[in-house]
Structures are given as structure tokens and as C-alpha cells.
Homo-oligomer: A and B are copies of this chain.
């Protein structure tokens, strides 16, 4: 089998059911999800499987979900069936809630870093946010974009934040605070004012 087909050598490429310039917003968005997926794969190589069994399970599910969502963005068939559903978002929320209870309390921004895995999870967090931004750009430009992908990426970036904190907490590495941070994280009532 030849992996290279040379058909993309003129700057166009294939979707599922279409053909577009390689720098189209759609390709940009799922290309960034592929980049994100690779950083998730990198973080997995840095997590001790005995201490982080649960996180590693989460991340493997996430890798598959990123393929689902990326494929959905690549799909422009007239009749199409999207692969990413509400369920993975709900699972992410449950996992976030559980891990937040385990993590030390949080009031101020923390400096990204700590253990190797935590540092990579912070990188993945910021790339999830870049993928989210590009999905928003795509949604503003085109009609048929499954909104669930953006919501999934939004929640995923929060999951990766908490996962990074756990990747430090369980090996007793502290999260250092941004020294000039206000108390930016809010609970209870003031939460209703929050927006992101």
C-alpha cells in the first residue's frame, strides 16, 4: 500500500463527500483536532498507569471521541449520520465534578506545569481551546456544522485543566499560583455571573 497518493499536491483535498482547498476552515478545524489528539497521546505516555488508571481510560475514550468529532466536521455528505453525541459531554462533566473534589481547592490562576504529564495536559488544554476557536470560526462561516463539536471541545478543555491538576496532586507536586492573580475562580452565586 502507498500511504501517499500525490493527489493533494495541488493544494486541494478530499472531505467525506466533497473536495476543498486544504486551507479551508473545515480542514483547519479537524486538522487542529488531529493536533490535539496527538498531544493527548503524548500526555498518555507520561502518566504512570498504576496511579492514573482512571485518567488514562478517560484519555483513550477522548482520543476516540476526537476522531468522531473530527470525522463529523469532515463529513459533508447530503445524507449523513454524525458520530459524536451528547453522552460524551455528560461523561466529561461527571468526571470533572469527581476530579474537582479530589483536587486541592482553587481560588487563583495556577502556573501551567509541575509534573511532566501535568505540563503536557496543560498544553493539550490550550490546543483544545485553539480547536474550539477554529470550530467557532467554521460555524460562523458555514451552515452545516454540528454544534456539539464546539461544546465538546469547550468541556474537554475544562476536563484537561482538572486532569492536569490531578496529575500533580497524586504525585504530590504543588500547583504554583500566578503571583499577581486576583481570586478569579468563583463558587455559588457569583458563578452565575461567570461566562466563558
In this complex, which of A1, A120, A178 has the most chain B Cβ atoms within 10 angstroms of its Cβ?
A: A1
User: Which residue of B7, B9, B100, B122 contacts A1 across the interface (Cβ within 8 Å)?
Assistant: B100
Q: Are B161 and A112 in contact (CB under 8 A)?
A: no
Copies in the complex: 3
Q: Smallest distance from the beta carbon of A163 to chain B beta carbons, Å? A: 11
Q: Are A2 and B191 in contact (CB under 8 A)?
A: yes
A27 at the interface (CB under 8 A from B): yes
Cβ of A11: which chain B residues have Cβ within 8 Å of it?
136, 139-140, 150
Cβ of A127: which chain B residues have Cβ within 8 Å of it?
35
Q: Smallest distance from the beta carbon of A51 to chain B beta carbons, Å? A: 17
State how many residues of chain A have any CB contact under 8 Å with chain B: 84
Cβ of A45: which chain B residues have Cβ within 8 Å of it?
113-116, 119
Q: Smallest distance from the beta carbon of A118 to chain B beta carbons, Å? A: 8
0/1 interface trace, chain A 24-39, chain B, CB 8 Å (1 if under): 0001100110110111
Q: Are B8 and A196 in contact (CB under 8 A)?
A: yes
A111 at the interface (CB under 8 A from B): yes
Cβ of A28: which chain B residues have Cβ within 8 Å of it?
133
Cβ of A154: which chain B residues have Cβ within 8 Å of it?
4, 8-9
0/1 interface trace, chain A 81-103, chain B, CB 8 Å (1 if under): 00100000000010011001000
With contacts A22-B133, A119-B42, A133-B22 known, is A37 near B195, CB below 8 A? no
Q: Are B38 and A3 in contact (CB under 8 A)?
A: no
Q: Are A191 and B126 in contact (CB under 8 A)?
A: no
- Interface pairs A-B: 9 shortest CB-CB: A41-B113, A35-B126, A14-B195, A7-B195, A42-B119, A8-B196, A41-B112, A38-B122, A38-B112
Can you pick out 12 interface pairs between chain A and chain B where the beta carbons lie within 8 Å of each other?
A: A1-B186, A4-B155, A5-B194, A5-B195, A8-B154, A9-B154, A14-B196, A23-B137, A34-B112, A35-B130, A45-B119, A63-B113
